[in-house]
């Protein structure tokens, strides 16, 4: 079941599928069966299955294992020792166990050790279940870990396929995950194959998102606009300043000086920042702002900042 196009050569691909079950939709590994170029080095992070179960599934769906294999088995699924062979040369086929899903440093170190050891071309990582990871560590922690991991893969000229069950998460969670990846893959309508789609990641980086959200007043401004403004509706900066002042001070009726202070701050610092990031249009002469469609990218992350 060949993927219609190659999503990306390096970085990360979000795969919309279940990591468990016998339904054809759950067999996410078949998308790699005819991958071009072929997988030469296989690296897996398993949350939903044991290393042995993952490798058996690989054999059934893709075929023989590549010459170089590494599995990082995270959490309760691993029942054996911290490092063990799964067949072949013990220096080439090693399972490493990470006891705690929140031990991101250990997981990252294990992944990077494999990346360093593998030949430089043809490395594919499979993370079998972001859904299980989210259940164990939460969205905020998972996003930071996955973003760093995708960056490491790109630096190593490798590509990672990260599986998520779309039926297990709300739209906000899926949008937040989608922003981390270079491309996405999902089942075709008849579930017999796969189709790719481009991500909006090139339109805004995670670094920009968190830079924008690092300041409380900008978060207040965005929340007010999301909650009150219709798409393409212009909002007076004076009204926005009043809303930010209410949120900042906790007063239902902020004083004139408090509102004026917020208005000056918005004009001088925060609206230019939001405009330069492409989240809104600011007409300084008219004293009005309008949210842009791109702002929807940042919306799922607002809740994460407060976790």
What pLDDT digit, counting tens, does each position of 188-242 carry? 777 777 888 655 444 567 778 889 999 999 999 999 999 987 777 899 999 999 9
Exposed/middle/buried for residue 37 (C-beta within 10 Å: 0-12, 13-18, 19+)? exposed
Question: Does 142 have pLDDT greater than 50?
Answer: yes
Question: Does 7 have pLDDT greater than 50?
Answer: yes
pLDDT of residue 209: 86
pTM given for the model: 0.76
Exposed/middle/buried for residue 105 (C-beta within 10 Å: 0-12, 13-18, 19+)? exposed
Cα distance from N-terminal residue to C-terminal residue, the chain: 41
* Helix boundaries (H) for 62-214: 104-117, 130-137, 139-155, 171-178, 206-212
Higher pLDDT, 1 or 285: 285
* Per-residue pLDDT band at 81 (split at 50, 70, 90): very low
- What is the spatial distance between Cα 185 and Cα 126, in angstroms, rounded to a whole number? 13
* Per-residue pLDDT band at 269 (split at 50, 70, 90): very high
- Comparing 48-62, 69-83, 151-165, the range with the smallest average pLDDT is 69-83
């Amino acid at each position: 079941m060949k993927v219609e196009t190659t999503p990306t050569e390096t970085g990360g691909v979000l795969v919309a599928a279940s990591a468990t079950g016998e339904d054809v939709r759950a067999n996410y590994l078949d998308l790699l069966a005819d991958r071009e170029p072929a997988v030469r080095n296989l690296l897996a992070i398993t949350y939903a299955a044991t290393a042995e179960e993952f490798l058996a599934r690989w054999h059934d769906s893709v075929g023989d294992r590549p010459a170089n294999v590494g599995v990082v088995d995270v959490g309760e699924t691993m029942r054996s020792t911290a490092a063990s062979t799964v067949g072949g040369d013990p220096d080439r086929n090693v399972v490493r166990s990470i006891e705690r899903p929140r031990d991101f440093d250990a997981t990252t170190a294990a992944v990077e050790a494999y990346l360093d050891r593998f030949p430089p071309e043809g490395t594919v990582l499979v993370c079998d279940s972001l859904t299980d990871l989210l259940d164990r560590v939460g969205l905020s922690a998972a996003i930071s870990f996955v973003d760093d991991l995708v960056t490491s893969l790109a630096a190593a000229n490798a590509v990672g396929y990260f599986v998520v069950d779309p039926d297990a998460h709300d739209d906000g969670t899926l949008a937040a995950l989608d922003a981390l990846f270079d491309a996405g893959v999902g089942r075709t309508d008849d579930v017999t194959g796969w189709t790719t789609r481009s991500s909006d990641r090139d339109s805004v980086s995670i670094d920009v998102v968190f830079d924008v959200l690092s300041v409380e007043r900008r978060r207040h401004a965005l929340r007010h606009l999301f909650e009150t403004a219709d798409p393409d509706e212009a909002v007076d900066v004076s009204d926005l300043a009043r809303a930010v002042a209410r949120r900042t001070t906790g007063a239902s009726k902020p004083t004139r000086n408090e509102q004026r202070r917020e208005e000056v701050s918005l004009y001088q610092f925060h609206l230019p920042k939001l405009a330069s990031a492409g989240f809104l249009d600011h007409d300084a002469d008219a004293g009005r702002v309008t949210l842009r469609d791109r702002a929807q990218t940042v919306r799922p992350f607002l809740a994460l900042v407060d976790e």
